[in-house]
Structure 1
Amino acid sequence: MAEIRRVCVTGAGGYVASWLVKLLLSKGFIVHGTVRDPGEKMPSNERLFKADLLDIGSLSAAISGCEGVFHVACPVPSKDLQDPEVEMVRPAVEGTLNVLKACSEAVRRVVLVSSCSAVYVNPSWPFDKLMDDNSWSDKELCREKQFWYEFAKTVSEEKAVEHCKSFGPDLVVLCPSLVIGPRLQSTINATSQQFIEFFKGNRISIFGSHILFLVDVRDVSEALLLVYEKPEARGRYICNSINIETRKFCDKLKKLYPNFPYPIITNEELPYHIFSSEKLLQLGWKQRPLKDSIQESVEDLLNKSILSTN
């Protein structure tokens, strides 16, 4: 009889986590998913737990009996922050530490979803050197620039590494870039909203930059399972498929979908870093072509009437 494998996924209803849960279920895992409000009936091998990242008791109940944990949940406010420390930093940092503290001795590995946001705010990194997992975002610069998401992700990851070095469990970190691809969840997440605005002629948030770093959501879920399963996986892994100038990205969209009012983007001759996912590729990670990710992202939005060419 095959061994029953049980894992916990925090924020199971989210954009990345929903694809991860789908993948885990297809591989025969029993999944404990934490959500803010468990509602609809789920498959027999998925159990939903109402949990709050700031309530360690609710997290302990969800993690109980699991051999591994994927900590995916993270606050991503869609509006201007009134109090960044309370609304973003505290839930991210304390929530991450609470997940780790809730892990019993039975938990053999935790995979933390960090972000390339915890990597790229590093002005001391040379432009002629590939930006890899040794780069960390400058916390003081993030504070100065009010890059609160980048700050929260960096501090959360640092605190998680410190905690696990002293108390365990084994920790592996994945740092995805901007995630695109079709959605499984019904709500519009922050990334999808930025993508939608781009088709309306607006460059907001990361799409306002002259360079984009992109990865397909399904490739992220595959990477998460990969670093969980591989015994040799250690440290942090950058998960990025493509480095592309925003102007060239827009040109690709225009060729595929010419009827949208895209923003006007001039040729911005500015230096930029290039992320290296070589460490993850050496572990066996595979990537989808950018064209496939773009098309399936847009078709998903069109099919769900979130975007319209009219």
Structure 2
Amino acid sequence: MQVDLIEPSVVGTRNVLNACLKAKAKRVVVVSSIGAVMVNPNWPKDQAMDEECWSDRDSCKTTKNYYCLGKTIAESEAFEYAKRGELDIVTVCPSIVIGTMLQPTINASSLLLLTMLKDEHESMEDKTRHLVDVRDVAEAILLVYEKPEAKGRYICTSYTMKMQALANKLKDVYPNYNYPKSFTEVDDSGKLSSEKLQDLGWKYRPLEESIVDSVMNYEERGLLLKK
């Protein structure tokens, strides 16, 4: 599992950057993840995590969070290219991506809503989730590519909410799905800031629009029984 998660991220990023170097690309946007930001037990708890916050590699290893470890190593290596003056690199770190699916198979981000809608959990942990629409991520990537003043990292997230609050949002529009009957409290109040990206001119759509478009897309693909 460790190799399966780390190698594609690190080696894949390295291969693409080497190809960009050979092609003499003027600017490269590397799509990382908040996984490279949020695993940091030493970050002040009352301070929102921003672009200065990096996931701690030892903490990732201790908790066996190899996805976050891979993303952290890959993004760090990308900036090594920039430090050597070989490439002009900007990174975007999206949170959990929702919205209409482009890929033919279900990914981990899509499962966030799908699990809540169809898996009939009696109880679910009321974890904090950071959400962003896939279309807003695409616009963020284009923005940092086109803006000459864009530098370094950019956290890309729109909404922070607990799972119970998200379930209530879904119920408002789609009341007949099988939502969890109860939620257990979890102390995981991590905060993220996308202020740097917003200062560059990034805007994001309403959460309700993302939810409706997500569920409609799942229904059209036969991933949900229509209610």
Q: Verify same fold: TM over 0.5.
A: yes
* Amino acid in the other structure paired with 1:114: S
The verdict on how the C-alpha distance between 1:125 and 1:264 changes in structure 2, with shifts beyond 3 A counting, is: farther
Amino acid aligned to 1:151:
L
Q: Deviations over 1:181-221 (max 9, x none)?
A: 01233332232234312212367xxx856101000000000
How far is the alpha carbon of 1:273 from its aligned partner? Answer: 1.7
Report Cα offsets for 1:96-137 as digits up to 9, x if no partner: 111111123631011000000110111111221111011111
Match of 1:119 in 2: 37
Distance in structure 1 (CA, Å) of the matches to 2:182 and 2:213: 24
Matched, 1:196 2:110: no
The answer to whether 1:299 aligns with 2:216 is: yes
What is the distance in 2 between the residues matched to 1:145 and 1:91? 20
Distance in 2, matches of 1:151 and 1:283, equals: 28
2:173 matched to 1:256?
A: yes
Q: Alignment partner of 1:266: what SS?
A: strand
**Alpha carbons of 1:271 and 1:198: their partners in 2 closer, same or farther (altered >3 Å)?**
closer
Count of aligned pairs between the two proteins: 224
Shift of 1:166: 1.3
Cα offset for 1:163?
A: 2.4
Matched, 1:135 2:53: yes
Aligned 1:165-184 pairs, distance under 5 A: 165-184=83-102
**Other structure's SS at 1:244 match:** strand
> Does the Cα contact within 8 Å between 1:127 and 1:271 map onto a contact in 2?
no
Asked if structure 1 preserves the Cα contact closer than 8 Å seen for 2:48 and 2:190, the reply is yes
Give the partner amino acid of 1:299: M
Query: Which residue pairs with 2:150 in the alignment?
Result: 233
| Deviation string, structure 1 residues 233-270 (Cα, Å, up to 9, x no partner) | 00000000001111111111112111111123435262
1:247–1:267 Cα contact (<8 Å) kept: no
Match of 1:246 among 156, 163, 170: 163
Segments ≥4 residues shifted beyond 2 Å: 184-190, 264-267
> What is the identity, as a one-letter code, of the residue corresponding to 1:220?
V
Q: What is the letter of the counterpart of residue 173 of structure 1?
A: T
What 5-or-longer segments of structure 2 have no aligned partner? none
TM-score after normalising by structure 1: 0.68
SS at match of 2:53: coil
- State the percentage of identical aligned residues: 46
Aligned residue type for 1:275: L
Q: Please say if residues 172 and 234 of structure 1, whose CA atoms lie closer than 8 Å, have aligned partners that are also in contact.
A: yes
Residue in 2 aligned with 1:7? none
**CA pair 145-129 structure 1, distance change in 2 beyond 3 A:** same
My pick for the range that moved more, 101-110 or 155-164, is 101-110
Aligned AA for 2:113? F
Instruction: Answer yes or no: is the 8 Å Cα contact 1:97–1:163 preserved in 2.
Output: no
User: What TM-score comes out, normalization by structure 2 length?
Assistant: 0.92
